[in-house]
Structure 1
Amino acid sequence: MNIQQIEKGFKEKIELYDTLGKNLVESIKILLKKANIKVLSITYRVKNTNSFLEKIERKSYSNPLEEIEDICGIRIICYYQKDIEKIKKIITKELKIHESTDKETKLKYDQFGYRSHHLIASVIKDWEITPSFRGLSNLKCEIQIRTVLMHAWAEIEHNLAYKNEAQTPSQFRRKIHRISAKLEEADEQFEELKIESEKYQKELSKEIAKSNQEIELNLDTLQAFMDNNFPKRRKDLDATGQLLNQMITYNASLKDLKNGWDVLKDDFEELEKEFWMGANSKFTKWIQVGIARFVLDITHPEFINRLPSSYQKKARERYRQKYLI
């Protein structure tokens, strides 16, 4: 094939690669949400014609349309190092993996450089049953998985254009080594902090369950209370943070929430059903934060003032007359 034929073949496939990238991103988002793995972002890009032709010239491919495996590239940016392995495991289970490379393991102990995990993958034939993946199983894509700090390094490294030590002026090498080491250490410390935080929350759950004393209100203690008392309801840490801010604004303590729940818990399931019926809405079980807000709306003197409309307040008023502490 001459270069004109290669370029024509590439342009004919661009739309297919774009469809592959877009649909894979959406599928991976669903898989990670189901596994309760939070990520910063999942994005894709398809090489443009100039980038494709430049790579052919640089790498001297004999059959570039088959050999170039990153025409479609997907990037997953997660928060913690251990999430990389979890994400990799999920993708490996769902997709056909042709190659798996950990860039970090290729670095010697005294080297700085790019850290990321790369997978060359394609959708399995069974996925073609779904219209959005029909005719795409013969296309490969590159999936990069990295933490936020790995991504920060990669972007700055790209901007500086120093890909390795041989390309780096000697007067800059020590500083770049130090920056690389700090980012790697920070990645490890964030992982440790996450583990310590989870352990702390478990200990808090036991303390909150048996204590009648006032306990400091913060994100961890509030989440621990809800995990302990509403374990079967969905948690959402962002929503917990918003609830915390509201509790501070309206002078509601963790003890207020605990006392309110003690008053309502025996009747709560019936109250929840009755509330939704009274609101002429389809019954939907509240998530953890929804339960906590309802409890405080009914049992706390000020918290209901967060509601902007008299209609919303009126829907809770008849319960307040019975349960207001």
Structure 2
Amino acid sequence: MNDITHWVEEFEDNMQEYEIFIFHLQQKIERILKYNKIFYVKTEARVKSLDSFTKKLELKKDKYQNPLEDMTDILGIRIITYYSEDLDSILKLLKENFKIDYKNSANKLKSLKYNEMGYLSLHYICKYKPSQKNIYGCNDFKFEVQIRTALQHIWAQIDHQLRYKTLVDIPNKVQRKLFRISAMLESIDDEFDSIKHEVQVVENFYKDRFDEKEYSLRLDLSSINYYLKYNDHFIRSICKKLGVFHFNNFEVAKEEKLEKKLIKFALKFNKNRLIYIEKLVNRIYKNIDLILEKLDKNTLKKINYLVNSSCSFVITFLLLLNEDILEIQKIYKLTDFSLEKIKDLRKIILEISN
């Protein structure tokens, strides 16, 4: 039996162990990212295929004394991020949680000269630390972690498809186009980081105000959006008391449409400051037992059906407590009995507020 056949058989024998190892490793890395509040597009995990292992062994057979130990990319994890600034944060977490083989690792971002463009990604060869032996087992397996942004990933995939999966030589002119695109995407990544920082400045502005209970801000898309995020947990707790448990995670466009509707109704009732929304939410919270007592089952059933987010909660009660009673009948198709109950509730809450 020649050496290549021997190592291929060893590789096949280890395959199940590799698959189990990489599955648990991917889960661990995702837990680390989530715990540290690093939002990512996705992670990918793979074990090198038998065919790929064999070809690499045949090509570089003199390089490896023990291919299963010396080949650093048998196991691979890829982390795809939204922002380039997260790359360093993830690298820091890798250092904290694993032992890194710097000699065989590569930082493509630093290896390119200032006048070069092309493939950008972080490649780090890692192992579990000795102290983790008894926890995870298989700790002697090396694995490669690639970290790149979504834009870097797109470019790398297309570049690989065009340049390395083709049977013809790519003309220099076409290759230059590819590298120009790389430069453009790098600039776009920088712009996304910049926009993220600008958004954080706005969010910090509102957080500081809300932490100080300062709600006299003008009611607009920006202020209501952050108000609802800031108070989402509190509003959900009110909804649970009303028997509402089916909260949705809307896409941004749909949520913005709801927020525009909220502002439209608020302005209709001459409530042009955020303080009115804050008072409304607190009024409902303080009178939740009264609301459950006064509203009939039909109205509560409608509320349960209509409310599926913090925004729809505010809209629903903004209308119930302020809209013309005949309009409410049209909107919610309520009976006269239900409308009388709403009138009673309004009267009591108004008296309490005064």
Shorter-chain TM band: 0.7 to 0.9
Aligned partner (choices 125, 128, 153) of residue 151 of structure 1: 153
More displaced, 244-253 or 5-14? 244-253
Aligned partner (choices 47, 70, 74) of residue 73 of structure 2: 70
Deviation at 1:238, TM superposition (A): 5.6
Deviation at 1:257, TM superposition (A): 6.7
1:279 is matched with none
Alignment of 1:51-62 (within 5 A): 51-60=52-61, 61-62=64-65
Contact between 1:223 and 1:240, CA under 8 Å: does it hold in 2?
A: no
2:279 aligned with 1:262, yes or no? yes
Aligned partner (choices 97, 103, 121) of residue 108 of structure 2: 103
2:317 aligned with 1:298, yes or no? yes
2:302 is matched with none
Q: 1:86 to 1:124 in 2, by over 3 A?
A: same
1:202 is matched with 204
Letter in 2 for 1:185: S
1:215 is matched with 219
Q: What is the number of residues matched between the two proteins?
A: 296
Contact between 2:216 and 2:273, CA under 8 Å: does it hold in 1?
A: no
Unaligned runs of 5+ in 1: 276-288
How far, CA to CA, are the matches of 1:160 and 1:139 in structure 2?
A: 32
Contact between 1:44 and 1:75, CA under 8 Å: does it hold in 2?
A: yes
Alignment of 1:1-325 (within 5 A): 2-60=3-61, 61-99=64-102, 100-130=105-135, 133=136, 135-161=137-163, 169-204=171-206, 212=216, 214-217=218-221, 220-226=222-228, 239=250, 241=252, 242-248=254-260, 251-252=264-265, 255=272, 258-265=275-282, 268=285, 271=288, 291-301=310-320, 321=345
How far, CA to CA, are the matches of 1:65 and 1:249 in structure 2?
A: 61
Deviation at 1:87, TM superposition (A): 1.1
1:159-215 CA distance string (max 9 Å, x none)? 11169xxx7533334423321211111111111111111112333556787564643
Q: 1:230 to 1:320 in 2, by over 3 A?
A: farther
Letter in 1 for 2:220: E
Q: 1:112 to 1:264 in 2, by over 3 A?
A: closer
How far, CA to CA, are the matches of 2:248 and 2:132 in structure 1?
A: 33
Larger-Rg structure: 2
SS of residue matched to 1:300: helix
Q: Where in structure 1 do 4 or more consecutive aligned residues deviate above 4 Å?
A: 204-214, 227-234, 236-240, 249-258, 269-272, 289-293, 317-320, 322-325
How far, CA to CA, are the matches of 1:202 and 1:151 in structure 2?
A: 31
Unaligned runs of 5+ in 2: 237-246, 293-307
How far, CA to CA, are the matches of 2:248 and 2:152 in structure 1?
A: 24
How far, CA to CA, are the matches of 1:270 and 1:127 in structure 2?
A: 53
1:28-87 CA distance string (max 9 Å, x none)? 111111111111001101111110011112223232111101111100000111111111
Q: 1:213 to 1:233 in 2, by over 3 A?
A: closer
Contact between 1:261 and 1:295, CA under 8 Å: does it hold in 2?
A: no
- TM-score, scaled relative to structure 1: 0.75
Q: 1:228 to 1:23 in 2, by over 3 A?
A: closer
- TM-score, scaled relative to structure 2: 0.69
Deviation at 1:258, TM superposition (A): 4.7
